[in-house]
Amino acid sequence: AIQLTQSPSSLSASVGDRVTITCRASQGISSGLAWYQQKPGKAPKLLIYDASSLESGVPSRFSGSISGTDFTLTIDSLQPEDFATYYCQQFNSYPPLYTFGQGTKLEIK
């Protein structure tokens, strides 16, 4: 089964910073990767799908990119509401096993 390895597992940053979170797939998954934001006690929220497409209503400071089996979520100019946990999920394996990365907790410095 395809594994997704997220890094870092936690991250401290300040309002206004630019941060990047990486998700590495153990095998090729084309562009079949999504990114989510989750706040405590809430359901996840889709940010990015197909590796780099911005979900409707999501601020443009969020972006996704792909290089081979490495996927990156970038948040430009962090806002207070961006401090949360972020997960990647793959959508392109066969048989379809839609695994998640282990998550990255983004905290205020």
Applying CB under 8 A, which residues contact other proteins? 1, 31-36, 38, 43-46, 48-51, 53, 55, 85, 87, 89, 91-92, 95-103
Measured from the CB of residue 37, what is the shortest distance to other proteins in angstroms? 12
Pick between residue 83 and residue 100 the one whose CB is nearest to other proteins: 100
- CA–CA distance from 104 to each of 33, 56, 87, 101, 107 (Å)? 16, 23, 7, 9, 10
Measured from the CB of residue 13, what is the shortest distance to other proteins in angstroms? 20
Helices (H) and strands (E) in the chain, counts: 0, 10
- What the block records as the tokens of 13 is 């940053």
